[in-house]
Chain A
């Protein structure tokens, strides 16, 4: 499914009652089965944009082409699991139509097979993130929205999870939008990177990565990341 968004303006009410424009003329499209990454200065409105796409925030002017019957998978910055349901139940509640075989395979790929009967409170953050990822994939989503899914994990673990995400997407491509502040992460996973401006955010640069995800060498990834850093830096002279 193609994801197409054109938000002309999005205001957020600040604590002092003033309206702040967070997004202006924020336009982007993700082709079916491709992964687009959004990078930009922190606090620029990436998460707000994702929430608009997900239908969690409908108070904006503009248009989002996403049929209401589209199946969404979303991973938030925090895992957001139901603490009173087991790992298994958390996944099955979100994806009641998933077959046992599909869930077995998913849990195996994310190395969660031994944790099915555990409650989220018994899991480490890394494991809880894996469960959130498993839940998002279990619904066989048409569109996958990832909001800094690997933030505050140690570098090694984040790397491992990125590899697992890449493997899952390799097996079943999903139209994906990944919000991240980490240009290495974007360079490693994205087919297209959108560089955002400061508030009010809009796309100031688009980088298409020609090399397929699985064929990118470490050197190529860090070259792409460096290029992204440069583009980010040149647009925010104060940085």
Chain B
């Protein structure tokens, strides 16, 4: 069996085992606590048929995308700044540690109190939760930048943009990719909390409603559908992007 085939078979097998354990658990616990895989699937189909599933997932995805984008951009910029400038590092290090250790819930609640139950407050709260983590990761990458290449850029008079694009960013790609990967999963989890607490739509809002009705099938239907979307993004966007920007690296055999 070839490596790729073997991997595929094993992945399908692990998925089948999870579904099987779930089905057995559902039989033991009863449909009220844990509905069977089929019941969840039929709820998913119902929600999809009414269009509610797609609408809510789309709304949540937009929030994830915007918050993720803001956090990555701001975090990368601050990380590079702190990695390059001693002054900036001393200035921002403490606030960053505080922010890093502030519970997500506190940031979300305060954002809603100070900025109202608005879309802006929701997205900013999520971005503020994520960006310190990106900044710290990118700062590490910036500290490890190759000084020799910096000198080459100086000798051959690279301007700022050229230096950033051809010398600095390629060295930061592994760090930015690591931040992006952990970031995507962190951001979507916080987006659900934000929606639960203060938005009238989205996957988090639907799960909150289902919780009040004790509708476990609906909770699982939304959660699994959304996880599927996030996994698809990881496989179809994040990984190909990483492969593309690291194609110069000689592959391990």
Contact = CB atoms under 8 A, between A and B. Distances in A.
B156 A93 contact: yes
Identify whether the interface residues of A are mostly helix, strand, loop, or mixed. Answer: loop
Interface in A79-137: 80, 82-85, 93-95, 119, 121-122, 135
Contacts of A139: 156
Contacts of B148: 76, 78, 80
B155 interface: yes
B92 interface: no
Contacts, number: 46
A119 B251 CA distance: 12
A56 B154 contact: yes
Contacts of B158: 93
Contacts of B166: 82, 85, 93
A184 interface: no
A35 interface: no
B249 to A, nearest CB: 7
A83 B156 contact: no
Interface in A18-34: none
A118 B162 CA distance: 21
Interface residues of A, number: 21
Contacts of A72: 155-156
Contacts of A122: 250
A80 B248 contact: no
Interface in B149-173: 149, 151-152, 154-156, 158, 162, 166-167, 170
A59 to B, nearest CB: 15
Contacts of B149: 80, 82
Contacts of B155: 54, 56, 72-74
Contacts of B156: 72, 93-95, 135, 139
A143 to B, nearest CB: 11
A78 B148 CA distance: 9
A55 B154 contact: yes
B249 A121 contact: yes
Contacts of B167: 82
A126 B152 CA distance: 19
Interface in B120-178: 148-149, 151-152, 154-156, 158, 162, 166-167, 170
Nearest to A96: B162
Question: Of B152, B155, B250, which is in contact with the most chain A CB atoms at under 10 Å from its CB?
Answer: B155
A119 B162 CA distance: 19
Nearest to A68: B157
Given A76-B151, A80-B151, A93-B162, 5 more contacts: A56-B155, A72-B156, A80-B152, A82-B152, A135-B156
27 contacts: A54-B151, A54-B155, A55-B154, A56-B154, A56-B155, A72-B156, A74-B152, A76-B148, A76-B151, A76-B152, A80-B149, A82-B149, A82-B166, A82-B170, A84-B170, A85-B166, A85-B248, A93-B158, A93-B162, A93-B166, A94-B152, A94-B156, A95-B156, A119-B248, A122-B250, A135-B156, A139-B156
Interface of B: 148-149, 151-152, 154-156, 158, 162, 166-167, 170, 245, 248-250
Top 10 nearest A-B pairs by Cβ distance? A94-B156, A84-B170, A119-B248, A84-B248, A74-B155, A121-B250, A80-B152, A80-B148, A56-B151, A72-B155
